[in-house]
Amino acid sequence: MRCPYCRKDNDKVIDSRASQDGLAIRRRRECVACGRRYTTYERAEETPIKVIKRDGSRAPFDRDKILRGLERACWKRPISTRQIETTVAAIENDVYQSYETEIESPELGQLVMEHLRELDQVAFVRFASVYRQFKSAQDFVEELRPFLENGKRKPPRL
């Protein structure tokens, strides 16, 4: 492993443990050359799942893309990084357990929204507005209507 600071390929592992989602090994490393410490994650290589996009093209499933989307949806909300990471891990687990080789982007988006619905209502609406490509304020109202009519804490399943 190359040091991200000095780019030397000489380090030692200080600590190893399972990550919070149990799907990776977290390693603390120390560069022998510069003495700086950094963290790496080791994951088992799995059969890559492809996401079938709306235009029919296929792209590899990207955990980091889900993470970035959730971070944007949860921006300035009282949600910890750990909660976001746990949600991403749960989504990734669902994808790998339920799909063998491919998942259509609407199914993946729905899966993300189901997990966000349980995490935070505002983050859910933010994500839905981008995912469903809201064009007007009326689209927001339609999404929020079940909240407002029933006084529920969580939006209905879509």
Query: In what order do the strands lie in the sheet containing 102-104?
Result: 58-60, 50-52, 102-104
Place of tokens 């989307």: 69
pLDDT at 107: 94
Whole-angstrom Cα distance, residue 10 to residue 27? 15
Q: Is 19 found in the same domain as 71?
A: no
Q: Look up residue 8 and give its two tokens.
A: 């030397």
State residue 24's pLDDT score. Answer: 86
Predicted confidence (pLDDT) per residue in 8-40, tens digit? 999 999 999 998 777 789 999 999 999 999 999
Q: Tens digit of pLDDT for each residue in 65-98? A: 999 999 999 999 999 999 999 999 999 999 989 9
Is the pLDDT assigned to residue 112 strictly greater than 90?
yes
Is pLDDT at 158 greater than 60 in this prediction?
Answer: no
Together in a domain, 21 and 72 = no
Question: Is the pLDDT score of 154 beyond 70?
Answer: no
- Report the predicted TM-score, pTM, of the whole model to 2 decimal places: 0.62
Same domain for 70 and 28?
A: no
Range of the domain at 56: 50-150
Q: Are residues 15 and 86 in the same domain?
A: no
- Residue partners of 78: CB distance under 8 A and separation at least 6: 120
State the total domains in the chain.
2
Query: pLDDT value at position 47?
Result: 77
Q: What proportions of the chain, in percent to the nearest 5, are helix, strand and coil? A: 45, 20, 35
86, 64: one domain: yes
pLDDT at 138 (0 to 100): 82
Give the position of tokens 């909240």: 147
Round the average pLDDT of the chain to a whole number and report it: 88
Q: How far apart are CA 97 and CA 83, in angstroms?
A: 21
1 band by pLDDT with thresholds 50, 70 and 90? confident
Q: Which of 82, 119, 90 is nearest to 23 (CA)?
A: 90
In the predicted structure, residue 148 carries a pLDDT above the cut 80: no
